[in-house]
Amino acid sequence: MREELRIERKNRLLKAAAEVFCEKGYAGTTIADVATHAGIGKGTIYGYFSSKEDLFFDLFCWYAQGIMADTSFETSGDAGSIKDRFLAYTHDIIQEMLASVHMYPLTLEFWSAAASGNMRNRLKDAMEKMYDEYRQLIGGILQQGIAQEEFHPDTDTAAIASGIIATLDAMGLQYWINPDFDIQTAAMQTVSAILTGISVPPEQKWSSRIKAKTLTQRMIG
């Protein structure tokens, strides 16, 4: 069978699996559920994944890759202060989140599977790598801000990066718990506060704020 075709089918399966695992949870999902949802026979799944656990783990990898690829700082906002661009980036991420909030339970499944059970170590390792990358990414941006004298040189970029990530991570949870929760505002305000908090004094800040305004308006409008 053509390798290409095989990969395409595998991805279709992963998509179906994502939906079912999301809906019913890992333990609550049967292989038959996934097969039915994918419109194929139960046994066929085992031609692509060697076990339910493998399917789930592969799903995590596939999903994580997708998330990392979905938004990028580079493409968020045009020229502007780092802070403004980062806020635009944050905005993109939250928009992404909102667009895929119906999949949020899947994230919780991944976390819980990383907490216990047979996949724990595999998942923890993969997640560690993912978080490291992510922290690296955010940390790098913050350092750009320092280099451009926008952020205070003493800023513990690693710490702040992880704080921002944590904020975004768990905002999703609050939103999932209560869809009335205004995740965009909460995220923007919090990230904004953090960045303000590490910004260098008054006078420079002023101009950056103005820009942010113009920028944001364009984006959202």
Partner DNA sequence: TATGAATGAGGGTTCATTCAT
Partner DNA sequence: TATGAATGAACCCTCATTCAT
Using CB under 8 A as the binding rule, the residues of this chain from 191 to 210 that contact a second copy are: 191-198, 201-206, 208-210
Q: Compare residues 3 and 74 and give the one whose CB is closer to DNA.
A: 3
Distance CA 27, CA 124 (A): 18
Of the ranges 27-35, 88-96, 121-129, 179-187, which one interacts with DNA (CB under 7 A)? 27-35
Asked if 47 interacts with a second copy (CB under 8 A), we say: no
Give, as one character, the DSSP assignment of residue 154.
Answer: T
Residues 55, 112: contact at Cβ < 8 Å? no
Residues 6+ apart with CB under 8 A from 217: none
Give, as one character, the DSSP assignment of residue 178.
Answer: -
Of the residues 7, 8, 11, 30, which one makes contact with DNA according to CB under 7 A: 30
Best CA proximity match to 42, nearest among 32, 50, 51, 33: 32
Of the residues 7, 11, 51, 156, which one makes contact with DNA according to CB under 7 A: 51
CA dist list (Å): 62 to 68, 188, 209: 10, 28, 38
CB of residue 115 to DNA, shortest distance in Å: 17
Binding partner of residue 53 among a second copy, DNA, none, CB cut-off 5 to 8 Å per kind: DNA
Asked if 42 interacts with DNA (CB under 7 A), we say: yes
Binding partner of residue 102 among DNA, a second copy, none, CB cut-off 5 to 8 Å per kind: none
Of the residues 22, 55, 59, 88, which one makes contact with a second copy according to CB under 8 A: 22
Q: Compare residues 32 and 147 and give the one whose CB is closer to DNA.
A: 32
Best CA proximity match to 64, nearest among 132, 148, 152: 132
Best CA proximity match to 22, nearest among 106, 97, 98, 100: 106
Of the residues 44, 174, 189, 214, which one makes contact with DNA according to CB under 7 A: 44
List residues near DNA by CB under 7 A: 1, 9, 28-32, 40-44, 46-48, 50-53
